[in-house]
Chains A and B, each alone.
Chain A
Amino acid sequence: MSEYIGKARLNQKQAAVVLLLPFLCAYFAFLIYPFLRGIWISLHDWNLLAVAFNPDAKEFVGLKNYVRVMWGKDITWTLYHSPILQSIAIAGAIMALWVKSTYRMRATFVWLIILICAVLFIASGFHPGEGGRWYDRRFWPIVVNTITFVGVTVPCVTGVALILAAALNRETRSMAILRTLFFLSNVLSVTVVTLIWQIMFSPRQGLIANVMDVFGGSPIVWLTDMQFAMVAIVITTVWWSLGIAMILFLAGLQDISNDLYEAGALDNATGIKAFWFITLPNLKRTITLVVVLQIILHFQVFGQVHLMTNGGPNDGTQVLVRYIYQTGFRDSELGRAAAMAVFLFVIMSAFSFVQFMIGREQE
């Protein structure tokens, strides 16, 4: 290509450098470098306060932090140690195979999901043998809490959002207003959401308690009850994040041709039948995308738990990101916290990769 045309002072390469430089500086300084530095910190015994006063107070310990977080004394493996998680893993793998056979998906993508399921299956078989124990008793229960939270929230949000989107998929004024109402809570910040729901759930002042009082029920101590605390967090999260899933479904619905419904109507497929036999099969890809997006989003849950239950009662709602935050900033153990953050990244990147593959399929 010809450079230097007319009065142009910069050729194409120079212009590219000038235009790219600001972003690249920020990108390497505040994302790539911190990411690599995080891995480096995770290989050290690194106390936040000690290192702040004396930069040499850290000690290289190799993978010891990972061992201290994830491993234990006398760990053994049995096939069916945690039936629920292992069943979920098997179900996930079967579903991936089913998805593969019903609509053409890139094989690598399906294998990736099966790989994730296999890792989950194998990992949940490990447990301390007789006389053994985890070095960190809290870590794995917290990971299980996080997975449980994701496992309950994602199907709830997806199901409700899908039904709402199908019902609201009409270009009329009233429908637009209803869509707005459902979406409104989505733009609120996590602290406003927890502010509202903390009082909603309050046994003495809460709206839920007030309503139950009218019907003569006794108030539930939502946020400090072992049974209800996680339920309360899930309700709050579903209320907060329903809108975005609904919007993504509405976008997916726009792509389904009207001809299909007209053809279906000839075969007497209207209403629920049309939803089941026309909408759902054509929306599979969007559903997969929404599910993966939400797994990524909700696996990083922090604010709701941090502000509503403090991870309590008795670690019942403690989740991974909050544990990382606590280990790093309350216990000052940055090395261990960074090791957990790397663990989080590995899980997230697997799902991000799945998301990336779906995105590629769509284009």
Chain B
Amino acid sequence: MTRQSGYYTLITMLSIPAFVWLIPTLWMVSLSFQPNDVLARTTSSTALGMVPIPFTFDNYLDLFAFGHTPIWFWNSIIVALGMTLGVLAVSTTAGYALARLQFPFKATLTFLCLIGLMIPEQAVFIPLYTMFADFGWHNSYHALILPRLAVPIGVFLMMQFFKGISKDIEEAARIEGVGWLKIFWFVMLPLARPAMITLAILTFLYSWNDYLWPLVSAQKRDFFTITLGLASLQSNFAQSEGLGRIMASGVIASLPVVILFLVFQRYVVRAMSVGGSKG
């Protein structure tokens, strides 16, 4: 009895900070539905601006009628999907080889890949910039995608997973005379689906939210990602675009990751804690 009531007190006590935590996000959504001319005067029309009255859809309609936002959104989709597929491809293959195949210098190679986890993006973005400039690669999709393929975290994630799979299946296939590549493709990959989803979500989130590398690499507005484009809108705040429209861009920019989070919550949480604890 007391335990039950204690539980409900706890829920109530926690609901308050949880709501406070949500307020900034709700405020952005609310502002995005208010007319720009009203916002120029005051942001606290109804209930401190938390309720979108007066209400309008114009900010969203404007967003897709003119301006760069649709292009940036599209760029983000291409880059995030391309990066996700690329990382999955190189990580599953290398992870499988390091976990299951025997070959010379395996330990050395594994160690060498481990070192890569210690190199932060911030330590290599200058040389990467000069390299890509030499190749004339900047302002392209592959310039935005390629550097992430080199980060070994996916390889380690897949390697850990493949190490955990029982050897029996593989040996049965070997006795049947199935080649290594076929075992990888037809036996191992289907088993690895949960780990692959985790890695895919981790990569997609990273790509969608990455800021430093796109800032350095993409100088033409046509190759901005939505994250970078949103930053460029912020630098000339309140002047041209109007507060409501910038907030609408913010909502649009967040929509894919928020939906991804709500649908695949379990995987996202797993992906982020793996990403967090391994670099």
User: Interface of A with B (CB < 8 Å)?
Assistant: 1, 5-10, 12-13, 15-20, 22-24, 26-35, 37-38, 41, 48, 51-52, 164, 167-168, 170, 174-175, 178, 180-192, 194-200, 205-207, 210-211, 213-214, 239, 242-244, 247-248, 251, 289, 293, 296-297, 300, 302-303, 307, 321, 324-325, 328-329, 334, 337-338, 341-342, 344-345, 348-349, 352-353, 355-356, 359
Contact = CB atoms under 8 A, between A and B. Distances in A.
Nearest to B103: A16
Contacts of A348: 118, 120, 123
A159 B29 CA distance: 29
Nearest to A27: B150
Contacts of B64: none
Nearest to B117: A352
B56 interface: no
Interface in B7-49: 7, 10-11, 14-15, 17-19, 21-25, 27-28, 31, 39, 42-44, 48-49
A206 B48 CA distance: 10
Given A26-B146, A196-B28, A344 B234 contact: no
Contacts of A200: 24, 27
Contacts of A175: 11
Nearest to B116: A31
Chain B CB count within 10 A is highest, among A41, A189, A214, A328, for A189
A325 B228 CA distance: 15
B149 A35 contact: no
B91 A38 contact: no
Contacts of B19: 181
A16 B97 contact: yes
A244 B178 CA distance: 43
Given A26-B149, A184-B22, A344 B120 contact: yes
B124 A31 contact: yes
Interface in B73-130: 89-91, 93-94, 96-98, 101-104, 109, 113-114, 116-130
B70 interface: no
Contacts of A168: 14
B48 A8 contact: no
Interface residues of B, number: 103
Contact of A22 (B93, B129, B205): B93
B237 interface: yes
A332 to B, nearest CB: 11
A189 to B, nearest CB: 4
Nearest to A320: B122
Contact of B234 (A48, A198, A329, A352): A198
B59 to A, nearest CB: 14
A20 B97 contact: yes
Interface of B: 7, 10-11, 14-15, 17-19, 21-25, 27-28, 31, 39, 42-44, 48-49, 89-91, 93-94, 96-98, 101-104, 109, 113-114, 116-131, 133, 146-147, 149-152, 155, 174-181, 184, 205, 208-209, 211-212, 216, 227-228, 230-231, 234-235, 237, 243, 246-247, 250, 253-254, 257-258, 260-262, 265, 268-269, 272-273, 276-279
B227 A190 contact: yes
A196 B254 CA distance: 12
A23 B93 CA distance: 8
Nearest to A189: B209
Given A12-B103, A38-B123, A26 B21 contact: no
Contacts of A189: 208-209, 211, 227, 230, 253-254, 257
B48 A24 contact: no
21 contacts: A8-B179, A8-B180, A15-B101, A19-B97, A20-B109, A26-B146, A27-B116, A41-B126, A178-B14, A184-B22, A187-B261, A190-B227, A192-B28, A195-B230, A196-B27, A199-B28, A248-B273, A251-B273, A338-B127, A348-B120, A356-B114
Contacts of A247: 269, 272-273, 276
Contacts of A337: 126
Contacts of A174: 11
Nearest to B253: A192
A239 B126 contact: no
Contact of A167 (B10, B133, B176, B216): B10
Contact of A341 (B25, B122, B176, B178): B122
A302 B102 contact: no
B120 A345 contact: yes
Nearest to B109: A20
